């Protein structure tokens, strides 16, 4: 079993350079390769699980890190596909407004989560069962998730996402650029799928 790297046909972004996006896509591809390589290696080591117990347990421990890096970056890059588009007045917007008071508050809260210290992701989830959103910070990419909940919006706040364009102190500037370039049609589709579960 192998995962295939996804290709993203992205438009020029405002405030995030093509070079930064290219390097970032290279990191994403690394996660896919590492995940595939680790799965293959584990298959070989399983020929003698007792002899290879330490190596296997270390690989098992790292596996969700690589998977998180793969899947979250796929969510992240897809959000810019098709070019910037504001949110429509559809069900995602009205449901967010109902919970957070205004769409502006949603963005403000997400920025706040994104500005937390340490490498990780600011994530907006939707709980289809309770019909409510949750926002959270996933440390690195495998810690602190709201398990089982679909991700509606994924904001990468690892330093590699902004250091080239904005410098080490430029996380806030990068987060503004991230939001400016979003195609909200992508998140609306995710929400429609999540809310029909
Ligand atoms: Fe990243």
> How confident is the model over 87-109, as pLDDT tens digits?
999 999 999 999 999 999 999 99
The answer to whether 170 touches 74, Cβ cutoff 8 Å, is no
The CA distance from 122 to 115, in Å, is 9
The alpha carbon of 21 and the centre of ligand 1 are apart by a number of angstroms equal to: 10
% of the chain with per-residue pLDDT over 90 = 98
Instruction: Give distance in angstroms: CA of 48 to centre of ligand 1.
Output: 35
CA 33 to chain centre: 18
Question: Over 90: is that where the pLDDT of 1 sits?
Answer: no
pTM of the model: 0.96
Residue 147 has pLDDT above 90, yes or no: yes
Q: What is the mean pLDDT of residues 159-186?
A: 97
Task: Report whether pLDDT(19) > 90.
Answer: yes
Nearest to 79 by CA among 154, 167, 2: 154
Give rounded-to-5 percent helix, strand, coil for the chain: 55, 10, 35
- pLDDT score for 88: 96
- Distance (angstroms) between ligand 1 centre and the Cα of 24 equals 6
Q: 3-state SS of 11-43? A: CCCCCCCHHHHHHHHHHHHHHHHHHHHHHHHHH
> What mean pLDDT comes out for the span 38-58?
97
Ligand 1 centroid, distance to 35 Cα (angstroms)? 15
Query: Residue 115 C-alpha to ligand 1 middle, in angstroms?
Result: 15
In the prediction, which pLDDT does 62 show? 94
* pLDDT of 119: 95
Q: Give 31 Cα–ligand 1 centroid separation in angstroms.
A: 10
* Statement: residue 129 has pLDDT above 90: yes
Q: Compute, in angstroms, the gap from residue 69 CA to the centroid of ligand 1.
A: 7
The pLDDT of residue 58: 95
What spacing in Å lies between the alpha carbon of 120 and ligand 1's midpoint? 9
| CATH number for region 91-195 | 3.55.40.20
Report how far Cα 37 is from the mean position of its chain's Cα atoms: 22
Ligand 1 centroid from CA 28, angstroms: 7
The whole-number pLDDT of residue 195 equals 95
Asked if 13 and 80 count as a contact pair (C-beta separation under 8 A), the reply is yes
Helices (H) and strands (E) in the chain, counts: 7, 3
Integer Rg of the chain from CA: 18
Q: Bridge-partner residues for 134, per DSSP?
A: 125
pLDDT at 197: 79
Q: How far is the CA of 32 from the centre of ligand 1 (A)?
A: 13
Going from the Cα of 11 to the center of ligand 1, the distance in angstroms, rounded, reads: 18
User: Residue 166: which pLDDT band, with cuts at 50, 70 and 90?
Assistant: very high
What is the whole-number distance in angstroms between the Cα of residue 73 and the centre of ligand 1? 6
Q: Could you give the CA distance from residue 31 to residue 69 in angstroms, rounded to a whole number?
A: 6
Helix intervals (H) in 115-170: 163-166
Work out the mean pLDDT of the chain and round it to a whole number. 97
Residue 94 corresponds to which tokens in the numbers above? Answer: 């009205």
pLDDT at 173: 97
Hey, where are the domains in the chain? 18-78, 91-195
């Amino acid at each position: 079993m192998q995962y295939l790297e996804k290709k993203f046909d992205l438009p020029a972004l405002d405030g995030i350079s093509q070079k930064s996006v290219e390097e970032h896509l290279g990191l994403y591809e690394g996660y896919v390769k590492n995940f595939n390589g680790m799965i293959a290696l584990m298959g070989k080591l399983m020929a003698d699980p007792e002899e290879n117990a330490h190596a296997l347990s270390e690989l098992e421990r790292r596996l969700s890190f690589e998977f998180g890096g793969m899947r979250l970056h796929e969510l992240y890059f897809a959000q810019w596909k098709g070019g910037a588009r504001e949110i429509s007045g559809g069900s995602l917007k009205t449901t967010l407004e109902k919970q957070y008071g205004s769409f502006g508050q949603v963005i403000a809260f997400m920025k706040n989560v994104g500005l937390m210290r340490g490498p990780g992701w600011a994530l907006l989830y939707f709980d289809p069962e309770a019909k409510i959103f949750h926002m959270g910070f996933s440390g690195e990419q495998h810690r602190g998730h709201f398990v089982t909940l679909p991700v509606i919006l994924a904001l990468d706040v690892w330093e590699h996402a902004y250091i080239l364009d904005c410098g080490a102190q430029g996380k806030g500037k990068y987060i503004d650029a991230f939001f400016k370039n979003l195609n909200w049609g992508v998140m609306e589709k995710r929400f429609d799928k999540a809310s029909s579960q």
